[in-house]
Amino acid sequence: MHILAVGLNYRTAPVEVRERFAIAEQALPEALQQLKATKSVLECVIVATCNRTEIYVVVDRLHMCGHFIRSFMEKWFQIPRQEFTNYLYIYEDDRALEHLFQVTSGLDSMVIGETQILGQMKDAFLLAQEYGATGTWFNMLFKQAITMAKRAHAETTIGEAAVSVSYAAVELGKRIFGQFSKKKVLILGAGKMSELTVKHLYANGADEVIVANRTLTRAEQLASKFNGRACSIQGGISLLHEVDIVISSTGADGFVLDVKQVQESMKKRKNRPIFMIDIAVPRDLDPAIGSIPNVFLYDIDDLEGIVESNLELRRKEAMKIDAMIAKEIEAFRQWLKTLGVSPVIYALQQKSAQIHQDTMESLFKKLPDLDERQAKVIRKLTKSIVNQMLHDPILRIKEMAVEKNGDEAIEMFTQIFALEEQMEKAEAEEQRQNKALEQPSSPEMRMNERSSAGSKSGFAWATVTK
Amino acid sequence: MGDRNEVGGEGLMLTQNWMYDAIIYIYALSLLFYFSDFAQPNRSAKRMGTGLLLFVWGLQTLFLAGKLIEQPAVPLLSVLEFMFLLSWLLVTISLLISLFFKIEYIVFIVNVIGFAVLLLNLFSSPIGEQRLEHWQIVKEILILHVAFAICSFAAFTIGSIFSGMYMYLHRKLKEKQWDDSVRRLPSLEKIDRYANLSIMIGTPLLILSLAVAISSIYMEEKLNLLLDVKVLLTLVAAICYVYYFIKRVSLKHTGYRLARWALLAYTLMVLNFAVNSFSTFHHWIWE
């Protein structure tokens, strides 16, 4: 069996292509059922977000499975395959595992390290599980990927540093003030960028917002969004001693604020720290203001520098997570190997139990005078001998199964203990159970069930309304 | 504690006391884990460091309890006892900080000092074991004096670490040097608040310690001791801290200048500790 990851994302397909492959939440169960019914597919999970549509499948063979998945996509999205094949990526086995872990940890996201995708992956898995689209492999793999992603976010700082200019301003402000409650913000010039920054500051608890603009109507409009007050640019400058944070983007040709004005306001504000953000080009605030004690002046380049440094930090943290992913893939491989040994161990235990049972029956026939207690003691002791004899071989085969030539070891183990018959029986039983499980879940059956349920309820409704 | 000074005994034994050795080794290991987190954020290393530190605290507490049972007197009257108790106090405070506050770096820095104090203790001369019991003044007053001094010293140590942090972060923010340390340190406002709180606790304790000491000198009628270098230096340090508060209340200084002032006062405190050799009556340290 093999694992495949097939999909398109923001890297491989533009939004006008991605939007054609979006799957509405309510359509996902039906999509899962159709996919599960696709030839060669044994297990499946569909992840559909605004940045990606991905299909994870366990298939019984690699040959032609890409074709089958594309056929499913063609049918489901009603798009000819030649229109999307170029945007599609298909990862097999280890690469598919790596991709799954990377996506779940946020390493494949547009904003590296974001955590929203973790929730989306979890939801996609739970939905697939609910509709019976997952089995032994995906139940283990997705749980492992989700747990690892949680651990990655908890043990690294990948999601902590701001990666947008407006958030960088908030982060800087937090380095100075800690929190923004009881802090006043003055906006000089009601531009888009300053609006976004003050929005974040306000959301982080800023107490009061004063908007100063050349056009008072625009200032009033913006101020009303934050329950603030509006005034002229000069009016705003006269309030400098009252405020703790200044965001300036007036678009004026010269400096709006000079050193002298700030020095005077600093005297009035008893040297309390003030954080000034100049996002205007050309700059509004005289750079010399930054030399005044307790004035922290940052311009747009400084903020972009912070964003770049934060992105670099996230990339460094991503390397740590990559190392964690490599370990997880190895752990999953080991687990897969132990899956192969389980039926053999089960067969050995079944065989030994059968031998024990037969021997006991024969013994009790030969010794009919044994009372119940004596029979119990003999049964217990002989069972203990069997278990002790099997303990070490089972332990060894478990160890050998995860080693390089694990398959050969399992084969030899089967031959030595002559377990072929038990294995065949177990396989036949498994197939019978699978068939029994698969039958009601086939789409036709479900459709029939649904239609019959519908007709039943329709009949009931008709009866009631008569 | 007299038996712990046999440096370089047998093999890896630093002292003849296994518990003291265990404290030092586990403390060093804990610091290594903390250092790993200090150099590069590593939460599991930090957790490990905290666990080991908790173990160190337990051993130190047991060690002190053992001493109390062995000789039912407050273990404060020798330099070794003083330093051991100071180290224990610093470990206790750092554990409380890590339990109740999320302040990066502080636990590591406090414990570097705590460990240094323990090591200094280890490598100091055995003659330093002389106790202050030869003083004829009421023993309880002497214990009170040393206890206040030890607590104020611990508080000033924490305060000075915060002041140093403030100066560092302030400089980084002014010079727009955005790096990992800036991301991890608490805000300037918070650091300033903690520094102020620590110094606010330390100053009255220091003044109380001085007051107790001066009153005992009066009781002994040895007024010439008031001009002793240690007494004078302690007075100067106390005045520096009082001046710090006056400036703070007057709002004339920036946080940066106040932090510098706090560090200067702490330097005097450390100097005060080192000048015992010149003192006429505090020569119980490193004779």
pLDDT of amino acid A440: 46
Residue B176 to residue A298, Cβ atoms within 8 A = yes
CB contact A80 to B (< 8 Å):
no
For residues A163 and B209, the model is more confident at: B209
Task: Please check whether residue A68 is in contact with residue A40, taking contact to mean a CB–CB distance below 8 angstroms.
Answer: yes
CB contact A267 to B (< 8 Å):
no
Task: Please check whether residue A151 is in contact with residue A67, taking contact to mean a CB–CB distance below 8 angstroms.
Answer: no
Ramachandran quadrant class, A270 (left: phi over 0; alpha: psi -120 to 50; beta: rest):
left
- Tokens representing A368 are 């009919």
Comparing CB atoms, the residue among A155, A271, A305 nearest residue B251 is A271
pLDDT of amino acid A459: 28
Distance (Å) from the alpha carbon of B75 to chain A's nearest alpha carbon: 41
Residues of chain A under the 70 pLDDT cut: 402, 430-431, 433-466
The CA distance from A400 to A395, in Å, is 9
Q: In chain B, what residues touch A175 (CB-CB under 8 Å)?
A: 169, 173, 182, 185, 187-188
- Residue B109's identity, in one-letter code, is I
Element (H, E) at B219: helix B188-220
3-state secondary structure A344-367: HHHHHHHHHHHHHHHHHHHHHHHC
* Percentage, residues of chain A above pLDDT 70: 92
Task: Please check whether residue B282 is in contact with residue B276, taking contact to mean a CB–CB distance below 8 angstroms.
Answer: yes
Distance (Å) from the alpha carbon of B195 to chain A's nearest alpha carbon: 15
How many helices (H) and strands (E) chain A has is answered by: 16, 10
Q: In chain A, what residues touch B254 (CB-CB under 8 Å)?
A: 271, 293-294
Q: In chain A, what residues touch B252 (CB-CB under 8 Å)?
A: 270-271
In degrees and rounded to multiples of 5, residue A3 shows phi and psi of -110, 140
CB contact A448 to B (< 8 Å):
no
How many helices (H) and strands (E) chain B has is answered by: 9, 0
Alpha helices, DSSP H only, in A204-299?
216-225, 233-238, 259-268
DSSP state of B186: P
Flag whether pLDDT at B59 surpasses 90. yes
Task: Please check whether residue B37 is in contact with residue B45, taking contact to mean a CB–CB distance below 8 angstroms.
Answer: yes
**Radius of gyration in angstroms for the set of CA atoms belonging to chain A, rounded to a whole number:** 34
- Tokens representing A180 are 């923004």
Give tens-digit pLDDT for B170-185: 999 999 988 888 988 9
Residue B176 to residue A309, Cβ atoms within 8 A = no
The full set of domain ranges for chain A reads: 2-155, 165-293, 330-455
The CA distance from A144 to A178, in Å, is 37
Element (H, E) at B27: helix B18-39
Closest among B157, B148, B156 to B208, alpha carbons compared:
B148
Please report where in the chains the tokens 């300033």 appear, as a residue: B192
In degrees and rounded to multiples of 5, residue A465 shows phi and psi of -75, -15
How confident is residue B138, by pLDDT bands cut at 50, 70 and 90?
low
CB contact B101 to A (< 8 Å):
no
In degrees and rounded to multiples of 5, residue A120 shows phi and psi of -65, -40
The CA distance from B143 to A254, in Å, is 68
Element (H, E) at A185: strand A184-188
Cα pseudo-dihedral B221, B227, B231, B233, rounded to 10: 170
Element (H, E) at B171: helix B139-174
Closest among B240, B221, B243, B237 to B270, alpha carbons compared:
B237
Residue A270 to residue B251, Cβ atoms within 8 A = yes
pLDDT (average), residues B258-280: 81
The CA distance from A365 to B226, in Å, is 106
Cα pseudo-dihedral B267, B270, B272, B273, rounded to 10: 180
pLDDT of amino acid B197: 93
Is A50 annotated as catalytic?
yes
Q: In chain B, what residues touch A270 (CB-CB under 8 Å)?
A: 251-252
Q: In chain B, what residues touch A290 (CB-CB under 8 Å)?
A: 174
Domain A165-293, classified CATH 3.40.50.720, yes or no? yes
Residue A175 to residue B253, Cβ atoms within 8 A = no
Closest CA in chain B for residue A267: B252
Give tens-digit pLDDT for A109-129: 988 888 889 999 999 999 999
Q: In chain A, what residues touch B253 (CB-CB under 8 Å)?
A: 271
- For residue B67, the tally of other CB atoms under 10 A from its CB is 17
Please give the full DSSP string across B97-150, using - where no structure is assigned.
HHHH---TTHHHHHHHHHHHHHHHHHHS-GGGG--GGG--S-HHHHHHHHHHHH
How confident is residue B74, by pLDDT bands cut at 50, 70 and 90?
low
pLDDT of amino acid B286: 40
pLDDT of amino acid A399: 78
Beta bridge partners of A57: A4, A44
Helical packing angle, B18-39 and B106-123, nearest 10°: 150
SS3 state of residue A52: strand
- Tokens representing A361 are 């029956």
CA atoms within 13 A on the CB side of B14: 14
Residue A175 to residue B256, Cβ atoms within 8 A = no
Distant-in-sequence contacts of A48-52, Cβ < 8 A, 24+ apart: A48/A21, A48/A22, A48/A23, A48/A124, A49/A117, A49/A120, A50/A18, A50/A22, A51/A9, A51/A10, A51/A18, A51/A109, A51/A110, A52/A7, A52/A8, A52/A9, A52/A10, A52/A18, A52/A103
Q: Average pLDDT, whole number, for chain B?
A: 81
For residues B5 and A120, the model is more confident at: A120
The CA distance from A147 to A381, in Å, is 43
Ramachandran quadrant class, B11 (left: phi over 0; alpha: psi -120 to 50; beta: rest):
left
Answer CATH for A2-155 from 3.30.420.40, 3.30.460.30, 3.90.25.10, 3.20.20.70: 3.30.460.30
pLDDT of amino acid B144: 79
SS3 state of residue A53: strand
Comparing CB atoms, the residue among B44, B173, B187 nearest residue A178 is B187
Comparing CB atoms, the residue among B42, B44, B182 nearest residue A175 is B182
pLDDT of amino acid A442: 44
Residue B43 to residue A175, Cβ atoms within 8 A = no
The CA distance from A353 to B3, in Å, is 66
Distance (Å) from the alpha carbon of A119 to chain B's nearest alpha carbon: 23
pLDDT of amino acid B262: 93
Closest among A76, A8, A3, A78 to A38, alpha carbons compared:
A76
- Tokens representing A175 are 């380095």
Alpha helices, DSSP H only, in A207-270?
216-225, 233-238, 259-268
